[in-house]
Amino acid sequence: MRFSTPRVQSRGIIVTLLRRMRSHKMNQRTFRIPGLGDLPMIGLLHLAVVYVVWGSTYLAIRIAVEGPHGFPPFMLGAARMLLGGGILLTWLVFAKKRVRLDQGEWIWAILSGILLWTGGNGMVMFAERYQASGYSALVMGMVPIWVALTELVQNRRASGILWAGLGVGVVGLVILTLPGFHGPATDAVGIVSLIMASGSWAAGLVLQRRKLLRPDPVVSSAWQQLFGGGGFLVLVLCTRETIPHPGTMAWVGFGYLVVIGSLLAFTSFIMATRLLPLILVTTYSYVNPLVAVLLGAVVLGEAITVSTVIGGLLLLVGVAGVILGNRRPQGSESQTRIA
């Protein structure tokens, strides 16, 4: 039997205390953003992960579903969600975390998981068989506009900046998507799918924010992915997708989506929605399209047209107006956050 010396024991205690202090300091450290107040640094770090990783997942989806050696989109979604959610849930069980949801939380976890993943992400994967990854990200950038419209229906009040942002965003969306409706029918199908996907994702985001208050964010993430995967299985059966024979690059894209996109980024996304104002979290819609357009052009050689540039910029300007016009006074913002 080996015995640790007092020096070794004290060193271990000091290391443990330093780690706890560092973790405590990170949780307590804040950064002031004008109009939004002091925000926790840990929440901003989670948002940075969402900024970068979700922008790159559009490229990974395109690689995973493209061509005859790609995955069928809904089968890809089912495998990604069930595997990612299963890994998260297994880890939580081994970590002796409480994974059971309360009776009233199951329905909201099911609905938000289906809206976010089956409806939101699923329609993106379907659309990227016909549309470029950067273009898909730009259309998905209208999520904050959907969120703002949802809040308008409930609050029935809006500032002039918000209305201007909505108008500019809609004009940008028209310029961005109109050329696609004059091309092959598959282009129009892809565009409509992307617009539906952004609306579904926004609805799931609002539902998650308001109804899933108590569960640990990792627990929420695991269950939402599993329920989303179940929704994908229904779509696989309804559309009669065939068993795929994916190539090497399709497997690379699939692995990236599961490990980085599902396990890391979505958990960071849920943490960000709990620690930061929702209107700030939705600013990932600015960065994701820029990352996606850049990666699509560099890696896949995707073309960047004049209508894509003008429409995309107007859409992002409109999103900026929506976010600025939807800011709450600093004193009331703390009431909207979820502890």
Q: What is the pLDDT along the chain (339 residues), one digit of tens a residue?
A: 444 444 444 445 434 433 543 454 555 687 776 666 778 888 889 999 998 898 899 999 999 998 888 999 999 999 999 998 999 899 889 988 888 888 888 999 999 999 999 999 999 999 999 889 988 988 888 888 888 887 777 666 677 888 888 888 889 888 888 887 777 777 888 889 999 999 999 999 888 878 776 667 778 888 999 999 999 999 999 999 988 889 999 999 999 998 888 778 877 888 888 888 877 887 777 788 888 988 899 998 988 888 888 988 888 888 888 877 766 544 333 333 222
The answer to whether the CB of 115 falls within 8 A of the CB of 195 is: no
Alpha carbons 336 and 152: distance in angstroms, whole number? 16
Domain ranges for the chain, please list them. Answer: 38-157+186-301
pTM of the model: 0.76
Alpha carbons 71 and 58: distance in angstroms, whole number? 15
